[in-house]
Structure 1
Amino acid sequence: MSLSQCCATGFRWEGTPKGKETTLSSNKAYVTGTNKDAAVLIVHDIFGWTLTNARMLADHYAEEADVTVYLPDFFAGEIVAPDRLDPAYAGEPFDINAFIIRNNKDTRWPEISGCAKALKTEHGFKKVGAIGFCYGGWAVMKLGAKENGLVDCVSTGHPALMENADIDNIGCPVQFLAPEEDNTFTPEMKEYTLKTLPTLGIDFDYQYFTGLKHGFCTRGDVNDPKQKHGLERAKNAAVSWFREYLH
């Protein structure tokens, strides 16, 4: 399972994030929210921790779900230019494969798991959730795996790099935000997910977004009514998920 060019497309949102930059474990991070008991860890897509869209989503979760949200940098400072999201962008095509080699699972998992652990051990949060988009999908599934148990619930929108075993091993309440068209969360993977979840003895929420494509949760076009409705519905679904399992 790999990423595809659709992982490097979408739209930029206008707005000013409300949080601040800090560190979590040994990673730089954006933080927003004031709850001392409940936290959410975002594992970003390939556009990383500085993208305005991701930070604005973090602000929404913090305010609407009453949680403290951390959005760490999991790409060692590498930034995929947000200019790629501009309709007129005419630069070099993005080399997804080289990017994934640099940011492979074995390299990034220790940082991702370290940040999740730090929320409970160093920062004292009683409940921790995680949400991952695109690249972050495999990571949050692993955080919630039975053998790891690092978080109390997970949500993922258009997950990438996920394998059947990630579904088999999930051990906490899990939410999927699944667009109709997705080269990474394929029809086969969707079918496997829907077949397997009821056998695991955990709460799950599977939401399907007809007519929408990979990336809609974090890079949807707010000027297109269908995409705007989809990204708002996805945001509200995640908020309600966190309110349910982190309080």
Structure 2
Amino acid sequence: MSNCCKEGFKWNGEPVGKETTLGNNPAYVTGDNKDAAVLIICDVFGWKLPNVRLIADHYAKEANVTVYGEVIEPAMMEDPEKRKNFDIMAFIGRNSKDKRFPEITANAKELKSNYKKVAAIGFCYGAWAVLRLAAKDSAIIDCAAVAHPSLLEESEIANIGVPVQFLVPETDPMFTPELKEFTLKTLPTLNIPFNYDYYPGLVHGFAVRGDQKDPKQKEGLERAKNSAVYWFKQYLH
């Protein structure tokens, strides 16, 4: 993973949800729809980052769903020393796919047992898990979305079996031009609805860590939120 995965801006706003548990994991929950749920699988900043909670609140209100979302201290965004000292490869070692996917699967299955329809969206590190939850012949979720994905393998893209949305910035060292090309060639062959939403001039992390004071970044992160809301409304209701 790249340094862009540990940089960004903390947003202003007061989340309206509450902390709860999902399976054996602490989580943030917002919204009160009894039929449709969205699981957010976060980047390295985790579900305590205010940005993630504010996005969850928007999804809950605007898409009429209930949203559930090693936690890294959000202050890292504003402290260059903490960013420098944060070891991304050590984080990956502690949170490898083999270690994390069983508990993510358990959480998704718990949601599926309690809601008629379940979607999942993954930001950065969380994207690979969403695509695995969406795998054909074993899908646990009804639709999927990923934003500036990291650590994707071609096999995870080729095996998607539910409607899927990609929110893709122009510049992204983690979602390389080669992976973008593979994705664009592969999605039309999967016989599923898909949306590939492209954000010129923006960079990795824009959808959850963009600078709200920069007009172009603000427009992009709002457009990404609106695109995800539309996707959830389309396939959860």
Scaled to the shorter chain, the TM-score interval is over 0.9
Instruction: Tell me which amino acid in the other structure corresponds to 1:222.
Output: Q
Alignment partner of 1:14 out of 12, 15, 19? 12
CA distance in 2, matches of 1:137, 1:120: 19
1:131 equivalent in structure 2: 121
- Name which of structure 1's ranges 91-100 and 154-163 shifts more when overlaid on structure 2: 91-100
1:178 maps to what in 2? 168
Distance 1:219 1:148 in 2: 32
The partner residue of 1:231 within 221, 232, 237 is 221
**Length, aligned pairs only:** 236
Equivalent pair of 1:177/1:209 in contact (CA under 8 Å): yes
User: Which residue in 1 is equivalent to 2:87?
Assistant: 95
Q: CA RMSD in A?
A: 0.9
| 2:60 counterpart of 1:62 | yes
- TM score, norm. by length of structure 2: 0.98
Amino acid at match of 1:89: P
Structure 1 runs, 4 residues or longer, greater than 4 Å off: none
Q: Which of 162, 166, 175 in structure 1 is aligned with 2:152?
A: 162
Q: Does the Cα contact within 8 Å between 2:30 and 2:68 map onto a contact in 1? A: yes
Specify the SS of the correspondent of 2:148: strand
Unpaired segments of 5 or more residues in structure 2? none
Q: Secondary structure at the match of 1:212?
A: strand
Distance in 1 of aligned mates of 2:108 and 2:71: 22
**Out of 153, 178, 198, which is 2:188 matched to?**
198
Q: Offset of 1:83 from its aligned partner?
A: 1.7
Partners of 2:119 and 2:144 within 8 A in 1? yes
Identical aligned residues as a percent? 61
Describe the superposition over 1:130-161 as per-residue Cα deviations: whole angstroms up to 9, x where unpaired. Answer: 00000001000000001321000000000111
Q: Distance in 2 between matches of 1:114 and 1:232?
A: 31
Q: Counterparts of 1:120 and 1:98 in 2: how far apart (Å)? A: 32
1:25 matched to which residue of 2?
A: 23
The residue number in structure 2 matching 1:80 is 72
The answer for unaligned runs of 5 or more in structure 1 is 72-77
Q: Which has the higher helix share?
A: 2
Shift of the alpha carbon at 1:213? 0.3
Q: Does 1:116 align with 2:114?
A: no
TM-score, normalised relative to structure 1: 0.94
1:146 matches 2:144: no
Give the deviation of 1:183 after TM superposition.
0.8
Once the 2 structures are TM-superposed, how far is the Cα of residue 89 of structure 1 from its aligned partner?
Answer: 2.8
Match of 2:178 in 1: 188
Amino acid across the alignment from 1:101: G
How far residue 29 of structure 1 moved from its aligned partner, in angstroms, is 0.8
